[in-house]
Structure 1
Amino acid sequence: MIKMRLFPNIFSKLNKKTAKNPHYALKDTKTLTINSVPQDLSIKVIHNLKDKVTSLIQPKNITMKDGYLLRKVHAFNSFGMFYHVDVIFCNKNFQVIKEIENFGPQKISHYFKDSYFIYCLAPGMIKFLNIKENDILRII
């Protein structure tokens, strides 16, 4: 009985934290810059598993104006997602290491030792924004 109540209590505490501060969710949305040029693209920073579930897994699609940033990761999996995304791997210096276009659902990427940041964008955004290796991607 105790184990069954553990997870709902954790998620209810997280929901109370966001309900008390209405600007909590807005604080983690930033603008993407490519080589110091701001783009019309808002990036949501994903901090934990709850953020990943509510942001990446639950929606049915990702729009051209939205993107997601995962920090301190070396690989990406799309388990639970039912749409394609463009995935960009960056090192600690914000430099693009590898980009994968149209990364399909229910897949795992290779492990990149130097990767530190992963950006998930709508399909086709890598070509649209002309992102290539050695570009600098930052959020402001």
Structure 2
Amino acid sequence: MNNIKVANQQTGSAIANVRLANTAALRMRGLLGSKPLSMQQGLLIIPCNSVHTFGMSYSIDVVYLNKKNQVVKIIEALKPTRISGCLTASKVLEIAAGSAEKNMIRKGDILSW
């Protein structure tokens, strides 16, 4: 799995260690079986417009992005055993709970990697 850096073009903040899940197998596995994320870790799932936290033991922030990498929706601290989706999203960034606020990620921001 490739590691990338995701940066917010509006604020300059970045999450340095993001794994890319861009195959069916990597998307299906997601964060299942992983340790809780640090504030500098995440998972970018492409393509994706919905996620679940079944089988996870920790909460995550979920950032939905459209085809232009613009943030269209943010779910903060999605708890285990939950489902979330966004019909206008084409990719999802899963990050540690609290990381969206810490990295000043807001709806309308453009993220790059």
Q: Give the TM-score category using the shorter length.
A: 0.7 to 0.9
Task: Note the C-alpha offset of 1:105.
Answer: 0.7
Which residue of 79, 97, 107 maps to 1:104? Answer: 79
Q: Counterparts in 2 of 1:26-105, with a 5 A limit?
A: 28-35=2-9, 37=12, 39-48=14-23, 50-52=25-27, 56-105=31-80
Richer in helix (by share)? 1
Richer in strand (by share)? 2
Which residue of 125, 129, 132 maps to 2:99? Answer: 125
Q: Which has the higher contact order (CA 8 A, sep 6+)?
A: 2
Return 97-106 or 46-55, whichever deviates more. 46-55
The percent identity for this pair of structures is 24
Task: Note the C-alpha offset of 1:113.
Answer: 1.9
Give the 3 Å change call, closer, same or farther, for CA 125–118 of structure 1 in structure 2: same
> Does the Cα contact within 8 Å between 1:78 and 1:108 map onto a contact in 2?
yes
Q: Counterparts in 2 of 1:5-16, with a 5 A limit?
A: none
The aligned amino acid for 1:115 is A
Q: TM-score, normalised by structure 2?
A: 0.88
**In structure 1, C-alpha distance between the alignment counterparts of 2:104 and 2:13, rounded to whole Å:** 13
Name the SS of the counterpart of 1:57 in structure 2. coil
Provide structure 1 residue ranges, at least 5 long, that are not aligned to the other structure.
1-24
Name the SS of the counterpart of 2:84 in structure 1. coil
Q: TM-score, normalised by structure 1?
A: 0.72
> Does the Cα contact within 8 Å between 1:31 and 1:38 map onto a contact in 2?
no
Task: Note the C-alpha offset of 1:51.
Answer: 2.8
The aligned amino acid for 1:33 is A
**CA RMSD after TM alignment:** 1.9
Name the SS of the counterpart of 1:73 in structure 2. coil
